[in-house]
Amino acid sequence: MRRIATGLAAAFVLLVGCGPPPTTNATPSATPSSPSPRTPSAANPSVASLHSLESAYEDVIANVLPSIVQITTKVGLGSGIVFDTAGHIITNAHVVGQASKMEVTIATGGPPRSARLVKSFNAGDLAVIKVDSPNGLRPARFGDSSKLRVGQIVLAMGNPLGLSGSVTNGIVSALGRTVSEPQEAGSPGATIAGAIQTSAAINPGNSGGALVDLAGDVIGIPTLAATDPQLGGGAAPGIGFAIPSNTARDIATQIVKYGKVTSSHRAALGIQGSTVIGLDGEPIGVGVIRVGPGGGAQKAGIKAGDVIVSINGKDTPTMASLSELLATLKPGDQVKVEIQRADGTTATVTVTLGQLQPE
C-alpha cells in the first residue's frame, strides 16, 4: 500500500512538471503560480493513515521477531519468547510436553541451540526452558495486560505449521475469558483464567509465541484456538485465546528465581476427581477420588466417593466445568458445595478454598 501511494504521488508530480508553460505575453503579476506538489497525506488522508499503520506493523515486527523462537522436541514443535539475557524462554507446557531437552531456533535465523526444561506449570499451561548458549538472545518487553482494551490491534508471532517467524494480525475481541484445554496426550488439560480472546489467527505451532500490541509489548501468550463441532472439530476461524502477560511473567519469574512455582494465586478445593457419567450417558458431576489432607474439602467433611454437583448454586457436571469455576475464585473464598453421597443422600457444605499447589 505504501508503494502504491508513493507511485501515485510521483506520477502526480511528473504530470505537473510536464504541463504547458505560461504564455509569453503574460505579465509577471498575472503569471499563475505553480501548484505545490501534494504529499500522500494531503492528496488522500486515508492513504496516509494506512501508511502510518503499515509502518507501525513493520516497526513492531522488526523489534519483536528477534525475541521469538521455535522450540523443537522429538514429538513436535511450538514457539517461545526470550524472557531474559540468561537464556530463559517462556512457552506453553503443552509445547514442552514430556521433554526435558529440546532445540531452539531464533525466528530471524541462525543454527539451532540446545535447551533444557527448567519447570512446567501444567495447571496454567506455562513452562520455562533455558538455552545452553544465550549469546545474542534479545529479551522481549512484556506489557501490562491489565490495561488491555477490547478493540486494540494485536499481532500474533510464532511458528505456525513450522513456518518460522510468521505474523498474523487481529484485535482483542474480549477479555477475562475462562477456557479449558482438552486433556489428552501431550496436553495437561489446563484451565486458563482471565484469557485474552483475539481474532488474530492462531494455528498449530503458534502456541507459546507472542501476542503483541502496537507499542511492541508482549501482552499475551497464544495458547488455544476454539474448535467448532459443526466443522468436525476443526478450528473456529477468528477465535483464539492467549494467557495474559501479567500471569505469564509472574509464573516465569517464580520459576527462574526458585526453580518452581511457589504461589499459583489460584483457588483449590483440595480434591482429586473425575467426571461421573449418569445412566443416560450424560455427565452428572465430579466424583471425588482423593481428598487432600488438611485441605478445605477435608475440613468440610467431603470424602472419597462423594460427587460434587454444584458450587455456589452453579452446576459442575464435569471436571472441566469445576476447574473453570474454581479459576474465577480466589484462595480464602468460602463457597457452598453441594454433594451427593454414595448412599444417595445429598448435602451442602461450606468449604474455605485453599491455594492450588503446583505439581
- The set of catalytic residues is 94, 125, 207
C-alpha dist (Å) from residue 266 to 71, 318, 357: 28, 19, 9
Tally Cβ neighbours within 10 Å of residue 98: 11
Inter-axis angle of helices 2-17 and 45-64, nearest 10: 140
**What residues contact residue 19 under an 8 Å CB cut-off, 6+ apart?**
none
Instruction: For residues 241 and 251, give the distance between their C-alpha atoms in angstroms, rounded to a whole number.
Output: 18
Instruction: For residues 158 and 100, give the distance between their C-alpha atoms in angstroms, rounded to a whole number.
Output: 21
> Which grid cell sits at 121?
506449570
Handedness of CA 5, 11, 14, 16 (dihedral sign): negative
For residues 218 and 144, the answer to whether their CB atoms sit within 8 Å is: no
Q: What's the burial of 355, exposed, middle or buried (CB within 10 Å: 0-12/13-18/19+)? A: middle
DSSP string, 136-191: T--PPPB--GGG--TT-EEEEEE-GGG-TTEEEEEEEEEEEEEEEPPEETTEE--E
Expressed in angstroms, the distance from the first to the final Cα of the chain is: 51
